[in-house]
Amino acid sequence: MNILLWLAYKGTNYSGFQVQPNGVTVCAVVQDAMQSVFGTRPDVKGCSRTDAGVHARRFALNFHYDGRIPVQRIPLALNARLPMDVRALAAQQVPDDFHARYAAHAKTYHYRLRCSAVDDPFDYETCHRVNGPLDLAAMQAAAAHFVGRHDFLALCASGSSAAAHGDTVRTITACTVQQDGELYTLSVTADGYLYNMGRILAQEAPVEADLVLGVPDSGVPAALGYSEASGIPFTDGIVKNRYVGRTFIQPTQAMRQLGIRLKLNPLPSVISGKRLVVIDDSIVRGNTSKKLVQMLRDAGAAEVHLRIVSPEVLWPCFYGIDTDTREQLIAANMTLEEMNDWIGSDSLAFISLDGLRASLADAGHDGFCTACFTGDYPVPIPDDVAKKSFLTRKDFEAVYAGEVS
């Protein structure tokens, strides 16, 4: 059976959660305890990685166990073998397909500051001491500016893998500062939804390949998630010209095709002879995808498998995106097989709507619009607009045939 186990740990003496060859880690210590209690060493799936010295109040992991110890007694049994700075809090049985990493929608970090002239001997390892007054109102006002979607490249450490892969954009859903006497706590909740989309897409649409590529920039985080979940290596195989804007909103087909050629440049030295999984954020008209597949083949790719981290865009958007009729949307006018043939890819798959929702912590809340995927608009569309905008190419052909006859 599949077991979800909640942990708390103090990370001072550990090189992070994930097992590493040259350091003591929380995961290895937990597996040592499992080996002692269960007589086996289960494969453990953690909800995330933590860096050296980082603590966790609640950390989820899952593993499979079919022994005789009742699930509710597993924490007690493990705590008898775990060091005091790692504690098992609770355990429960979960569905066989549950995966702690894929089920994680967001992370909340708490940064604690003690405003004092001296350290507190009881929390000096988990607090940063500042010697001087702090302006709570100013801190709260500054924290509010972090809420939203931002590029945090300037805050990345030198040599950061996230910076190297272009994975520096995050959505901060909450950022608060609270005071309790001398103690100030900065709490930050951020999503990892693009990464989660890639993980889920790897489960929904697996494929055998040699490399995973992300179409820069928005496809890169999802590609990293797909790579991690599938075990297929990620690489930077497409270089983006950052002086070319969005191509799908150009007014003519010729301008869109020219923009694509100028915007994206595959690297033959990286992709020649390789079977590629190419991750992109969406397909609207299909022009970018079609041209990109051809460019990848010209650069020597053996196979090109497109994986898209949005569902098919089937309905027009009236809220600021320049796709006001279904006639313009490739998914509204072709089947999946027809799209794959027209684009020229070896296979094509989109994340499901359920998969998209599963990757987003707030997808079930009011105000989350899926109209372009479902046709369920948050406000009624006037009849005079809908009459034209909701017609597909086949609809137009039928109307035209009726007018001629």
Residues 254 and 339 in one domain: yes
Choose one of 103, 131, 165: the last residue of a domain.
103
Residue 210 sits in the same domain as residue 99: no
In this predicted structure, what is the pLDDT of residue 403?
42
Q: Which of 292, 299, 239 is nearest to 271 (CA)?
A: 299
The Cα 154–Cα 170 span in angstroms is 13
Total tally of structural domains belonging to the chain: 3
In three state form, how does the secondary structure of 53-83 look? CCCEEEEEEEEECCCCCCHHHHHHHHHCCCC
What 8-state DSSP symbol labels residue 187? E
**Alpha helices (runs of H) in 15-170, residue ranges in sequence order:** 26-38, 74-79, 100-103, 136-144, 161-164
Last residue of a domain, one of 68, 103, 138: 103
Q: Which residue has the tokens 């097992």?
A: 19
93 lies in the same domain as 114: no
Same domain membership, residue 199 and residue 330: yes
Other beta carbons within 10 Å of 161: 10
Mean pLDDT by 10 residues, the chain (405 residues): 95 88 90 96 87 90 94 96 96 88 78 91 88 89 83 66 63 86 90 73 92 86 84 86 56 58 84 96 89 94 96 85 78 94 96 84 66 88 79 62 42
Tell me: do 97 and 86 sit in the same domain: yes
Q: Is 83 found in the same domain as 13?
A: yes
Of the residues 176, 191, 206, the one at which a domain ends:
191
Structure tokens given for 84: 């005091």
Domain boundaries, position 257 = 194-396
With respect to residue 402, please indicate whether it lies within any of the assigned structural domains. no
For residues 5 and 62, is the Cβ–Cβ distance under 8 A? yes
**Can you give the CATH number for the domain in which 369 is found?**
3.40.50.2020
Query: Does one domain contain both 265 and 198?
Result: yes
Read off the pLDDT of residues 341-388 as tens digits, 9 standing for 90 and up: 999 999 999 999 988 887 775 555 566 788 899 988 888 888 877 777
Q: Helix (H, G, I), strand (E, B), or coil: what is residue 307?
A: strand
3-state secondary structure of 262: helix
Whole-number Å distance between alpha carbons of 311 and 347: 15
**Residues 301, 324 within the same domain:** yes
Encode pLDDT of 145-200 as tens digits.
888 777 777 766 656 555 555 667 777 878 899 999 999 999 988 766 666 788 78
